[in-house]
Structure 1
Amino acid sequence: MFLILMASCNLSAGSYPYAEIYLIKLPEEQLVTKINNFKDNNIEYKVPSSLGLVDGKSSPNDHWHNFYFKNPKNNQIIKTWVRKNTNNNTKFAFISIKDDTSLGHWKNINKDFDTKRNKETIQEFESIILKKIGLFESQD
C-alpha cells in the first residue's frame, strides 16, 4: 500500500486551504509518472483538451503538478495537485470538482458541500482515482 497518511486541511492557510491531502509513500517524480501512466492507459479519465485544463506545472519553478481527471461515472472534472513532501513522500491533494460542461463553477472539497455530500465525494475520489491508480486500499 502506498498511502501512509490521510488528512483534511480545513484550517490551513495557503493556496488550497480546504484540500483533502493524502501523503503517498513515493518520491514526487515516481508519483507523477504513475499518474501519467494511469491516464495514458485509461483514456476515459482524461479531460477533453477543448476545456483547456492542462496537467503539469504551470512554470518550471512551480511547486505543484496539477492533474485533472474526468470522472467517467458522472462527467465531472476533478482537480488535484501533487507536491514533494520529503525525498520519499509526496502529497497528493483533492482540491475541487465541477461539471464537465461548465466554465468555472468549481466546488471546493471540505468547503462547498454539506457534511454528507462531502464525505461521499471524498469516498468516490478514493474509489475512482486513488484505488484505480493503486495508491489507496480501503480501511473497510
Structure 2
Amino acid sequence: MPEEVSRKSSNLVKSYPADLEESLVEGLLNFIEVLKTELLISNESKSKQELVEVQLYRLITENSLECCFPNVETALYIYSSLMVTNCIGERSFSKLKRIKNELRTTMSQNRLNNLTTMSIEHELLVR
C-alpha cells in the first residue's frame, strides 16, 4: 500500500506543482497513521451521509492539523473542488444546447450569450 500511495501522490504532485510539494508522500503516510488513532473513532459519530473526503477534510480542520498536514489538506481541497468545476461546465453546455435549439433563429449571438449566462446563473438573478 505505501508503494501505491507513493506512486499516486507523485502523479498528483506532478499535476499540481504550484500547489503541492514532494513531501505529500510522507504527509499522506503519516495521515494514514493518524486515521488509525482516536481521532477517527471520535469522528465516526458524525453523519454517515457525508462523503469520506469531506470527513477527512473536517478531521484535519476541526482538530487543527493544517500545520501538520498542509499538503494533505490542499490535496483534499483540490479534490473537493474538481467535482463542482466539472458539474458547472456540463450544466453550462446543457443550458446552452436547450436555449440554442429553442431560440436559435430569433436572436443575435450577443443576445444568445447574455440569455445563456442569465439562465446558468439564475440563482443570482432571483435574489
Taking structure 2 as the reference length, what is the TM-score of the superposition? 0.25
Which of the pair has the greater relative contact order for Cα pairs under 8 Å at 6+ separation? 1
Taking structure 1 as the reference length, what is the TM-score of the superposition? 0.23
Between Structure 1 and Structure 2, the one with more helix by share is: 2
Between Structure 1 and Structure 2, the one with more strand by share is: 1
Q: Which is greater in Rg?
A: 2
